[in-house]
Structure formats: C-alpha cells, structure tokens
Chain A
C-alpha cells in the first residue's frame, strides 16, 4: 500500500498541513467563543468588536482549512483507488499465461467490487481520520497537562488501555471479514452463473428452482454479513463501555483531588471537559484503527492479486530452437489431468511459412495442445522452444472466440490502422462488408450477431494479426457452405507466415493444400502426410497411421454444397 501512498506524496503533505491549521484554528475558535460570551455579558475588558474580528478570522481559517482538507483528502482517496483499479486490471492482463487460466472470473469481479469498496469506504475514508485524531489527542493532553500534569498522565494511561484490551476482538474482526469475503466470492459466482444462463433458465422454466438456489446463497451471505456486523458492534460496544468507565475513573479521581483541595472546582470542570474530549477522540481513533484492521484482508487480497503479475514478469524459461529455420519446437510433451493422460510424449516442429494440419476426434487433446502452445497450460514433462517471444510470435483464433461490445473495427483487435484497404478487402472476402458498412454496434458476446458472423469476425482478427505463426482452431465450424470456400481460399492463400490448423475434419482441398498433416491420437501426433521431402519430420517418434484412418478423416468432409 505504501507504494500507492507515495504516489500521492504531494496530496498527503497538503493533508498534514491543513490538519494542523484546522486543529489549531478550531481550538482558537472554541476559546474565542468563550471570550465572546464573556465580552457580550461584559465580564471582561475586551471589546466585543475586537473579539468578533478575531473570531471571524479564525472561523474562516478553520472552515477554509477544513474545506481544503476535505477536498484534498477526497482527491487523494480517489486517486489511490484509481491507481489500484488500473493496476488490478493490468495485473489480470499482464500475468503469466499459465496464471491466466487459473484466474477465477467470479472471484476477480467480487474482489474488484466488494474488496475495492471496502478499501475505499472503510480503509481510506476512516483511516484518513487517524492523523487528525492523533493530533487532536496530543493537543488536548497538552491542555490538561497545563492544568495538572498528573491528570494528563492518568488520562493517557487510562484511555490507551482499552485500545490494547480490544486486540483479541480485532483478530475476530479480521476473521469475520475474511469469511464474509469468501462467502461473497461464492455469492458473486452464483449471481454471474445465473446471469450467463438466463436464457436456459427461462427456457426450461426453472425460475423457481433457481430462485430458491439463489436465496440459499443470499441467505448465507446475509448470515455472514450479520456475523461481521455483530463482531463490529461488539468491538464498538466494548470500546465505548471501556471509555465510559475510564471517564468515571478520571472523574472520581479529580473529584477526590477537589475534595482534598488540590485543584479548584473550575479546574475540575475543565479537566472533565477536556478528558471527555479525549475519550471521544480516542473512541473514534479506536474506530478508525478497527476500520483499518478490518480492511486488512481485503487489502492483502487485492495487493496479492496485483503482485502476481509483478512477481512473474520475468520471462518464462523457454529456450530457442537450435535450428534457426524452426519457429516452434515441442519436445516430448506430456500432459495429464488427474488420472487422464491427455498428451504422452508429443513432438512437433514448425518451420518458417509452413502449413500444418492437426486432425483429431473430439476429446483427443487438440485444445489442450493449443493451450500448451499458447502457454496457458504448462506441460508435465518436455518443453516448448520458441524462436521469439510468444506474444509476438503466435496469434490464435479460438474455437469459441469472444466478441467485445463496440464497433466491428474495434473487434478486429488490429493496432495498425494504416492497412485500411487490406482490411476492407478482407472483410469483403469474409462476407462481413455489409455488417461493416451498416456500422451496427456489436453487443457484448456478439449477442446480436449470428454464430457464423462471430466466427468470421474472429478469423478476420487472425488474418490481420502480424505474428509469424497463426493458429486456427476449428476455423470452419459454424460456417456455412458459401463461406467455407472463401475461408479456405484465404487459408490456402497464406504464404508469408506459418499456420497450424486444428480440426476434426477438413475438405480434401484444404487437406491437399497443407504441407504436413498429423492426426492426434493417444496423446501423440501421427504423420498422415508430408510434402516436399516426402517424409514425416515427426515420424521418427510415432507409428505410422493405418490407411483406413487417414481415408476416413480426409474424405469425411462438410458437403453442404
């Protein structure tokens, strides 16, 4: 957190300055009020006019500094929140790719809303008062010491004791906050799940069941919330009882001093008034300390989240392939999920401007292989060597692409805005020109587009990307006959970059246009076809496929035409 405070150095200096001016002028205003009363009823020699002028000056100094303090404090708070939010999102995007897969969307949103609010409203807002209370307490203690130093020491001792007594309570508070946050994560997940599945809920008419599931989740959230509130109220109550008892002790002892004749009745009244000021200030101080403490789990959770990207910013230890002509080299890759062995000693090598097709039935591990190549998963054994940094080297069009709300142009995710004519031509070839011209805003998840339009839009992203390797995962799924041919043309027309095409079935034409074809079976790549050299570069490690298999896969093709 210090890092964020440091960035607001100037604002914080302003806060300190105005706190001192505010507290000093407030004390002066209080005294002047008394003098004004005395002057009004003619008890002093002071002229009411003089007192009034002084009063006006200090009142304006007080209110002015108080206003500026509030403004600066609020700005500092908002700036810190802005920096936190920015870093929070950046950390989600910039973390290690393997960490991206592990990112829990619901938990992240819960953290972004609930925990951020807690930091904003509880930690920063209440915590900001800490300095003010401490300055106030010190000044009041000095005032008591001027009357009777013993009472000042006594007040200090008696009033600070409760702060330490509530320590155990504070641990409970932190614990309650943690449990609430965990419940809130679960609840947000439940809410988001229903948000995504609303059509199915409506369609299957399971509103009541879903409502009852949701109510159960909401009830446990409220239960945790009330438990947290109870702990908070208990802490407050304990503090406030201790404060009042302390006050009674002070009053008793000062009354005894009056009784003995050590101090005057007037001093008693002053001491009593000052010590109750301190007690209320210490009470609020305890409240602020408690707020700061209860926000601690939220702060550490948010900072941990942000920290992940900073910790892992070191480049992952992937080496480069020995052969400079090779862009990507996967060696002896093994991957399993629990008991299930997905990939088992897989090898793949991709050279410059090479087109490779990987065939495989559903569940054979094609998507896992892609996730490994993209770095979202890490292999259990083996390594992937890349000629260049992954983000510059590979782009991928996924099977279920995400479409963002906004314009079609924005959805192309293309940084280079100069290739206008190339872009227009590509959109025409993909049959997206009408959509492009209509300038229709695209809804989130591409909800107002058809499945095929989403797919073609995602393909346009891929063709426009500047990376050397393009991976297309099932590029022809959900695409109708008329477009299939055009997309095949585009795929076969790729010349200056390497291509990995993944599919469960392709047309003969596409099959023929590929330099190498593999089938993913039993966790390994079997070579079905190799152009040029006439041998499979991978066949060293794999058995050759049966003729029947390769026939079955190549002739089975989409035949809507």
Chain B
C-alpha cells in the first residue's frame, strides 16, 4: 500500500519559485537600506540649510533626489515581483490539488465529499493568499528593515544591542502562548467553512427539489445556523489574534521604557553622547512600532499552516487498488465473483453476502433485481471502487488487485449523463481520435440521425433531452470498445421506439462482455440472466 501524496509545505512553495523569491528579497533590502540611508542625507541637508552654506549642496541634493526615486521604485518592483511570486505559488497549489483529485483511484476520490474538494480549492486557497502570502509580504519588509536597524544600534554602542534583544525576542515570541488556541480555532473554522460550503453547494444543486416542496424557509434556517456558527468561531479567532498583537505591543512599550531608563544610566556613565542616545532610542522605538506586526505575521503563519494541513489531507490518497506484482491483461476470458460479501463503511446492512457468479461467455449478461439488492454495488466492486470484505473477484483467474489495467478493461455507463467542455464529437470519443464516419454511423443506429452531421458534431455540446442524453452515453460506452462494458439502466425513461433501436444495437454486440442492469425485462437475446 503506497501513499501517494505530494506533501505541500511552505518551504517547498518558496523553493518552487526561488528566482522570484530571491529577486523580491533583494529588491526589498534595497528599498529598506535606501530608507535608512535617506535619514542621513536628510540630516546633512538640514545641516546645510541651518548653516546657510552651499558647499556640497549639489551632491547632497542629487543623493536626496536619487534616493527619493530609488525608495518607491524599488518598493514598487518588490510589490510586482512578490505578487507574481504568490500568483505562481497559488497556481502550483491549485494544480497539485486538481492533479491529486484526477490521479487518485475513484475509490479514493469518493472518500471525501464534493464540498471538501470545493472548500480546499476555493476558500482555503484564498485563505492562504490572504493570510500566508500577505504576511510574507509584510514580514520581508520588517526583516529587511530590522537587520540594518540592529546593525545600526550595534554600531552606536554594542551593549545597547544586548539590552534591546530580550525585548525583541519577548515581543515576538510571547504571543506564541496563544498559538495553540489560534490553531484550534482555525481548524474549527476550516471545518465549519467546509460544512457551510457543502450546504451551499447542495442547496444550489437541489434548488428545484426544495422549491417543489416549498421548503425554502427551513433550508434558509439551516444555512443561517451554519453561517452563525462559522461567524462565532471566526470572531473568537480574530479576537485572539488581536489579543496577541496587543500583548506584544504592551510588552514592547513597557520594555522600551525600561530600556530607556537603563540606557539613560549608561549616558550618565559617559559611555554615550546624548545625540547617539536619541538616535538609538529612535531605532528602538521603530522596533516598538514594527515588532507587534512581526508577531502577528508569525501567528498568521501558524494559522495558514492549518489551511495547508487541510489541503494536504485532501490531496493525500492511498493506492490500495493495485498491488506491486500486477499484470497487464489484454483479453478477459472470464469474470468470476467468488463468494464475496460487502457492507458499506457507514452502514450495518450487508449489501452482498456470500455472492458468487461466473460469466465466461461474451455477449449480454443481464442482471435484474429489486433496487437496493446490490446491483449497482456489484458493479462498483467490479470497478474496484471499494475493497470486498470477503471473497474476491477474478478476471481471467487474476484477482482484481493484480490487474494493472483494470480501468482500460472496464467501461461503466451510469444513469446520470455527464458532458465535458468541447464538442459533441469529443464527448462521444472522449478525446480519442475517432473518425466522423464512425460517430455518424453510431448516432444513426441509435435513432439520433438529427445529430449525425459534421457541423453539429464539431460544435460545442448543446442541450439534449433526457432520452437523447442517455443514448449518447450508451454510444460513448460502446465506442470505447473495452473488454467489459457495464450499462446501468440504459433503457429507463426511453420511449418504445428508442428502446427498440437500442435493443437492436445492443444485441449486435457479441464481441464483448456486456453487463446490463435493468429493472425491466428486455427484448434482447442474453447469454445469462440473473436476478439479485
């Protein structure tokens, strides 16, 4: 059993866009260094203005103007490069989520609700954009300004650095105390967001059903409860976040006063001039303003990690369907269900109990039976969507697990019709190269002659009636020509004429294992008919 999850981490995201990230870093360092440099030029200019001298005014003015352009331009470039960086990172997360959905076996896919995929793909990605990437954007600015700042304090008087460091560390890491609460609330709000989005998605899909029974009010009520729950958790989260921010501010302000008094004592010892003292305090107070944001950003990173964990859990899947020693089958000789039993995970009703069946001849096998007796389940098991509890299913004597190309051997047509972007031809051939003549022939045989024209085939898919859609789905399945074709209720809701046409077409398929699930008797010579 292999776990195929491309684990996403913040480090791997940054490394994936190394060049852009480093460029952004260089640009912000440039911008912040220019800001520090600007303070000195400003001082020189004031000095010149006060003294009334014009000596060196030209150079200073040039510097001044140069910096005044350099600061915003480099900052502008930083912003542009950074936004590009985050857009590409987000693209890579989106692609990873989608790839993991498409690549996993269907059995793994249905372990999560559609709402979960939707939540990961929309809300959680946006939340990463808003919390993680925006925090990195601000965090880099603070780092870029702090490093030269600390260096300046050191250059004024080395012991000052020792005095200021504990305050810096305290302010950055004290709010960590709240992290556990923040992570818990974040997790809860992600789960509530999933519930909310699932509900929203379901209500939209079932909108007509709700209206048919005039139950709008009760669904609105239900939804209100869900948004109210999410809002309350989110509020608690926000309040804890600003609690951490203000705690950090309080610590820093108190600490800066203490530092101020300590440093004042140093001044009286004569180690420091008053001018240096004020400069050092200026830089220190600059920290007081910036550092709470740092701790806030660190908290955001923690919160963003929950979103990333959620995405990671969503993209993780196990490949349990195929074992290592799997073999590729070209031909299927027989299909054997050997004493299988199956119960759905969330139920205690056994759907199949000690069921056996052997299909050894090509042609039509009809499975008939009361609904709920496990017809559809049987076929899901044949597709290996779920592992059987007991017994096993064999193709040409090989257990399903050891068939490497099961997906190529079995085609299943479900009762609902699914169309994808593209033309009718692409939807029938499922993007394989199939000659128009073959499609036209197939359409005519199924009584869909009005669609059998090249200009309709290659135009984007249109609107089809229920009966038309069903026949298109049957044609799609037959065109693929796989060894085993399963048709789940192909005749339901069709009118007599269409049924006759379809029965004729199906009875001509003698080269494959055609498994037909119906609740009604059909007018087709069958090899094997079985009631469940």
Contact = CB atoms under 8 A, between A and B. Distances in A.
Nearest to A456: B371
A197 B418 contact: yes
Q: How large is the interface on B (under 10, 10 to 19, 20 to 34, 35 or more residues)?
A: 35 or more
B261 interface: yes
B109 A198 contact: yes
Contacts of B90: 222, 225
A258 B260 contact: no
B411 A237 contact: no
A274 interface: no
Interface stretch (A205-213, A322-330, A488-496): A205-213
Interface string A420-450: 0000000000010011001011011101111
Contacts of B519: 452, 478-481, 558, 560
A90 B227 CA distance: 12
Given A103-B204, A552-B496, A86 B223 contact: yes
A112 B218 CA distance: 20
Contacts of A63: 246, 249-250, 253
Interface stretch (B168-176, B300-308, B322-330, B344-352): B344-352
Among A29, A248, A455, residue most surrounded by chain B Cβ atoms (within 10 Å) = A248
Given A202-B105, A226-B84, A504-B493, A70 B415 contact: no
A479 B228 CA distance: 41
Contact of B76 (A199, A241, A431): A241
B338 interface: no
Contact of B72 (A207, A241, A391): A241
B234 interface: yes
Given A113-B126, A202-B105, A37 B281 contact: yes
Interface string A347-390: 00000000000000111000100000010100000000000000
B46 A265 contact: yes
Contacts of B468: 362-363
Interface string B198-239: 101111111111111111101110011001101100110011
A396 interface: yes
A555 to B, nearest CB: 10
Contacts of A85: 196, 227
B243 A92 contact: no
Nearest to B496: A556
B401 interface: no
B1 interface: no
Contact of A477 (B260, B374, B493): B493
Contacts, number: 383
Among A251, A431, A552, residue most surrounded by chain B Cβ atoms (within 10 Å) = A251
Interface string A201-244: 11111110111011100110010011001101110110011011
A178 interface: no
Contact of B412 (A97, A199, A222, A451): A199
Contacts of B94: 218
B contact patch SS: helix
B231 A82 contact: yes
B283 to A, nearest CB: 13
A392 B211 CA distance: 11
A483 B369 CA distance: 11
Contact of A109 (B98, B204, B369): B204
A265 B47 CA distance: 9
A70 to B, nearest CB: 4
Contacts of A193: 420-421
Contacts of A201: 102
Interface in B36-50: 42, 45-46, 49-50
A249 to B, nearest CB: 10
A399 B122 CA distance: 32
Contacts of B49: 255, 258-259, 265, 268
A362 B209 contact: no
Contacts of B68: 244-245, 247-248
A511 interface: no
Interface stretch (B4-12, B110-118, B310-318): B110-118
Nearest to B218: A415
Interface string B78-91: 01100110011011
B497 interface: yes
Given A41-B264, A255-B49, A451-B376, A233 B209 contact: no
A436 B480 CA distance: 40
B418 A37 contact: no
Nearest to B497: A361
A199 B414 contact: yes
B95 interface: yes
Contact of B210 (A71, A112, A117, A413): A413
B342 interface: no
B59 interface: no
B481 to A, nearest CB: 12
B416 interface: yes
A79 interface: yes
A202 B277 CA distance: 71
B349 A214 contact: no
Given A199-B412, A448-B346, A113 B123 contact: yes
A304 interface: no
A449 B101 CA distance: 23
A440 B493 contact: no
Contacts of A93: 203, 207, 210-211, 216, 219-220
B394 interface: no
B337 interface: no
B220 A478 contact: no
Contacts of A505: 495-496
Contacts of A258: 49-50
B530 interface: no
Interface of A: 29, 33, 36-37, 40-41, 48, 52, 55, 59, 63, 66-67, 70-71, 74-75, 78-79, 81-82, 85-86, 89-90, 92-94, 97, 100, 103, 105, 108-109, 112-114, 117, 121, 188, 190-207, 209-211, 213-215, 218-219, 222, 225-226, 229-230, 232-234, 236-237, 240-241, 243-245, 247-248, 251, 255, 258-259, 265, 268-269, 272, 337, 361-363, 367, 374, 376, 391-392, 395-402, 404-405, 413, 415, 431, 434-435, 438, 440-441, 443-445, 447-453, 455-456, 458, 461, 465, 467, 474, 477-483, 504-505, 552, 556, 558-560
Given A86-B224, A229-B84, 18 more contacts: A59-B254, A93-B207, A117-B123, A199-B106, A199-B412, A200-B430, A222-B88, A230-B83, A232-B83, A237-B73, A241-B73, A398-B209, A435-B349, A450-B372, A474-B493, A478-B371, A482-B370, A558-B521
18 contacts: A37-B281, A40-B264, A48-B261, A75-B239, A194-B101, A203-B410, A211-B99, A213-B420, A229-B84, A237-B73, A251-B45, A265-B49, A376-B208, A395-B214, A398-B208, A415-B215, A481-B519, A483-B370
Which 6 interchain pairs have the tightest Cβ spacing? A452-B371, A362-B467, A237-B76, A402-B206, A229-B83, A361-B495
